[in-house]
Amino acid sequence: MSDLEKVNGHHPKGLPMAFAAALSATEETAKLPFDVDAALSAVVELHAEIPADGYTAPFLGTEREGNGVVIDNDGLILTIGYLIVEAMAISVKDAGGNMVPATVVAYDYGSGFGLVRALKPLELPALAMGRSADLTVGSGVLVAGHGGRGGAVGARVVSKREFAGYWEYMLEEAIFTSPAHPNWGGTALIGQDGKLLGIGSLYVEDAADTSDGDDSRNGNMFVPIDLLTPILDEMLSEGRTAASHRPWMGLFTAEVEGGVEVIGLAQDGPAERSGLQLGDAIVKVNGTAIASMAELYRRAWSSGAAGVDIKMTVLRETYAFELTVKSEDRYTRLKFQRQF
């Protein structure tokens, strides 16, 4: 059992013996090679307000709450992008417990990261970034939300693998931990050295690879911090990255019986305008057979930048046909404080 798991009383398989209201102030904490309270204080409460006519408002809401992580001494905060996309007002909690205004710095759909900057001094320490590549399955970690010890839970890494989201999003290697944190959006994944290794994105019911008999299914998915280092300067200067200019099709999909089925369509989006319908199975993209969402995205994104035509072979009930989706830049649908 790792020291991080002992701190919050967790079984070495990652299953909670009890969800502690606070991390125990025991000698186990002292064994950790970093100042736990200082690290946890870098995780802040974040509130965002989105206009009712925002494109994401119907499915992400107009009021969003979660977490962010202070990553420099000038109030720069890293969070998960869906909390702040289209935000017209953002506030974060400072060291004195006061909510202070912040502004959007970047929203990068390619990685999923969002950046905001506090407009007043937070008087909080920055959390240094580590190397998520060094994490291995079985590593003990802290999953930290705002609120210090009361917002943190000891966990372990149960898998590292490709992740494809139904909303046209993919990571080559995401990090999955168990047990699940109850307030996962924007949480900090903190390693044994007290450094930031990822940002919390999702609650999942398939965190572990159960083929080895592991029963730690419920957990969280994290965006690895290693994805931030090469794009941080670009995010700060441009508000997004080159990867976020890839073509958007405006569809939601699921993997069903070895294929890819359309389960949703963005209103008046490229896919809907092309004639795709709910229940259609996409069997080829640009002439190449696909059998997974990851294959769909790779083929579509390799077509070129947003605006490119994407040819599909579609199976509808008992007949197959071809159609062309005229892709878009998804950012043209969104409202922003700054221009991207």
H, E, C per residue of 215-239: CCCCEEEEEEHHHCCCCHHHHHHHC
Domain(s) labelled CATH 2.30.42.10 in the chain stretch across 246-333
Q: Return the biggest CA–CA distance within the chain.
A: 67
Q: What is the pLDDT of residue 1?
A: 39
For residues 312 and 327, give the distance between their C-alpha atoms in angstroms, rounded to a whole number. Answer: 12
Tokens in use for 286? 């640009």
Residue 238 φ/ψ region, left for φ over 0, alpha for ψ in the -120 to 50 degree band, beta for the rest: alpha
- Residue 203 pLDDT greater than 80, yes or no: yes
Bigger pLDDT: 41 vs 208: 41
Tens digit of pLDDT for each residue in 124-158? 999 999 999 999 999 999 999 999 999 999 999 99
CATH superfamily assigned to domain 3-35+126-233? Trypsin-like serine proteases (2.40.10.10)
Tokens in use for 338? 């700054």
Domain(s) labelled CATH 2.40.10.10 in the chain stretch across 3-35+126-233, 40-125
Please state which CATH class domain 40-125 belongs to.
mainly beta
Question: Do residues 100 and 52 touch, judged by C-beta distance below 8 A?
Answer: no
Taking residues 4-21, report their average pLDDT. Answer: 34
Q: What is the pLDDT of residue 29?
A: 55
Tokens in use for 64? 């969003």
In this structure, which amino acid lies at residue 309?
Answer: D
pTM of this structure: 0.89
Taking residues 279-306, report their average pLDDT. Answer: 97
246-333: which CATH architecture? Answer: Roll (2.30)
Residue 97 carries which DSSP code? S
Taking residues 26-53, report their average pLDDT. Answer: 86
